Chains A and B, each alone.
Chain A
Amino acid sequence: MRLELDSVGLRYGPVTALSDVTLTVATGTTAAVIGANGAGKSSLLRAIAGLEPLAAGRIVADGADLARLDTEARIRLGIALSPEGRRLFPEMSAADNLRAGAFTRRAGPAVRRDLDRVYTLFPRLAERRASLARNLSGGEQQMCAIGRAVMSEPQLLLLDEPSLGLAPKVVGDMARAIATIAASGVTVLLAEQNSRLALSLAQTGHVFEAGRLARSGPAAALLNDGDVLRAYLGEEVASPPAGPIPAVPLPL
């Protein structure tokens, strides 16, 4: 799915969250949205998912303006958001959370195949499928959240801070999983504070600062531009995974 944002503005009451954001994500590519806490990354993803009304501009998916579609309709169009803080259904099992992700689809072999794919992608989740979501570890919860988003068979996957609060080893697993999902042809918009991680997974990068798009460019160029990292993001906390992350082919 091709995503275009044209002069998008977003306000929470008197506070401007986004202003004049114009960017494009080409079909089948991964774009990183990076920036400091409060730069507007989550607002951007929520706006695309239809959770926040726009103050200005428009969002277009595969040539169709999303303005008149509510969140539920956008999900049916093929957009999925794994939200900030994961937002699993805490009193449901991991398996039921995944079932919830497939809510818009007719139960059948395709859904079962996708469920198998999620469990292949996250073997740990398969072991924990019967546990209540609230009893899962942080990493397992994140796997479940991404798995739930994937279960809707999205064409555009919005991931909000998938590495937040995870141990370095788990961050690596997560990165490989995202790369695998992206390799299956899904358009991915990845919002991350861990900009090295995000840029290493993406083809293009968009740097946000105080609700504005400060800079866009090829991910590799941004990744090698030490000035960008220092100027917009400050000191990095987590170290980047060594080398490019290989995509694991999905069993089809």
Chain B
Amino acid sequence: MFQQFLVIMALSAAIYMLLALGFTLIFGVMRVVNFAHGEFVMLGAYALYVVQDVLGVGYAAALPLAALVAGLVGVVCERLVFRRFVGDEIGSMIVALALAVTLKGAVTAVFGTDGPSIARPISGVVTLGGAVIPKDQLFAAAVALVLVALTHRLLVATRLGLAMRAVAQDAEAARLQGMRPWTTYPAAFAVGCALAGFAGALTAPIYGAAPDMGDAALMKAFVVVVLGGLGSIPGALIAALLLGALDAGISILFDPTLAALASFGAVIAVLLFRPSGILGRA
């Protein structure tokens, strides 16, 4: 049972990392709390459905295309909505909630309330040391980790990443280096939303898609990001592991309700004793 715990923890932590990474990236760079993050996860899932199951494109191509769709919608939303709320945490939160309702409503209007039937490209399990590892989950976790690593490369080793970090830390000083915040913001938003889209497209074949699937995704991202410190990427990675362990451990020993309670308990404890999060800075 302990091996199974490790497997469940690791597999869910990888997805939590991916969910939280885009959320914390957008906050870090733009100081925008994107409460519509879950809806971009949902858009990724539905985009995968359209590309894979309606248009008949193979999963390997449909997956990045779905993330691209989420990223493009993100750019449009940045242009039309979030641009005006850069740095305004309360204002951005409110428009993001409005956007979340709008996106959910739009998807419901087009696809209905029932989740679409999404083909599962990967099935079967591998057994490792007495633990069962479903291949589809293993694949999703592996891709999630690769994406986390790629995002890290993007941030530390590219000009765009340098600009994102600089704009996040001091937008005016960044302008003095010739970086343009107004092109960096949509880029960061696109990357954040594309990561959310990937999370949706990776998990849709496993758990299905539904218009309200973003709520649970946002909750996980939110818990991870608050635990790790808003805007802190290393913090989010550690917190994702912590949440994975908490979720899996308490669900196995007790029940999922207590696990959910415990994760929020952890959030409250962190906010009380270390308000900036595990690795965040006040």
Across the interface, do A89 and B178 meet the contact criterion of CB distance under 8 Å? no
A227 adjacent to chain B (CB < 8 Å): no
Closest residue of chain A to B232 (Cβ to Cβ) is: A91
B89 adjacent to chain A (CB < 8 Å): no
A112 adjacent to chain B (CB < 8 Å): no
Interface size of A by CB at 8 A reads: 23
Number of chain B interface residues as a range:
10 to 19
B163 adjacent to chain A (CB < 8 Å): yes
Contacts of A218 in B (CB 8 A): none
A167 adjacent to chain B (CB < 8 Å): no
Contacts of B176 in A (CB 8 A): 49, 51, 71, 75, 80-81, 83, 87
Across the interface, do B165 and A89 meet the contact criterion of CB distance under 8 Å? yes
A65 adjacent to chain B (CB < 8 Å): no
Across the interface, do B166 and A72 meet the contact criterion of CB distance under 8 Å? no
- Choice from B159, B166, B172 contacting A92 with Cβ under 8 Å: B166
The smallest C-beta distance from A85 to any residue of chain B, in angstroms, reads: 10
The smallest C-beta distance from A126 to any residue of chain B, in angstroms, reads: 20
Across the interface, do B173 and A72 meet the contact criterion of CB distance under 8 Å? no
Given contacts A104-B178, A152-B178, contact A89 B159 (CB under 8 A): no
Contacts of B274 in A (CB 8 A): none
CA distance A96 to B168 in the complex (A): 14
A88 adjacent to chain B (CB < 8 Å): yes
Instruction: Mark B168-187 against chain A: 1 for CB-CB distance below 8 A, else 0.
Output: 01101111111110000000
A residues 15-37 in Cβ contact with B at 8 Å: none
Contacts of B177 in A (CB 8 A): 75, 100-101, 103-104, 148, 152
B107 adjacent to chain A (CB < 8 Å): no
Contacts of A185 in B (CB 8 A): none
Given contacts A75-B178, A89-B165, contact A103 B159 (CB under 8 A): yes
B162 adjacent to chain A (CB < 8 Å): yes
- Pick from B159, B162, B169, B177 the residue with the most CB of A within 10 Å: B177
Contacts of A212 in B (CB 8 A): none
Contacts of A89 in B (CB 8 A): 165-166, 169-170, 173-174
CA distance A148 to B169 in the complex (A): 15
The smallest C-beta distance from A117 to any residue of chain B, in angstroms, reads: 18
Across the interface, do B173 and A103 meet the contact criterion of CB distance under 8 Å? no
A residues 56-72 in Cβ contact with B at 8 Å: 71-72
The smallest C-beta distance from A186 to any residue of chain B, in angstroms, reads: 16
A residues 81-113 in Cβ contact with B at 8 Å: 81, 83, 87-92, 96, 99-101, 103-104
Across the interface, do B179 and A103 meet the contact criterion of CB distance under 8 Å? yes
B residues 169-222 in Cβ contact with A at 8 Å: 169-170, 172-180
A215 adjacent to chain B (CB < 8 Å): no
Chain B residues with a Cβ under 8 A of chain A = 159, 162-163, 165-166, 169-170, 172-180, 281
Chain A residues with a Cβ under 8 A of chain B = 49, 51, 71-72, 75-76, 80-81, 83, 87-92, 96, 99-101, 103-104, 148, 152
Q: A76-B178, A104-B177 are in contact. List 16 more A-B contacts (CB 8 A).
A: A51-B175, A72-B175, A83-B172, A89-B165, A89-B166, A89-B170, A90-B169, A92-B165, A96-B165, A99-B162, A100-B162, A100-B166, A101-B177, A103-B159, A103-B163, A148-B177
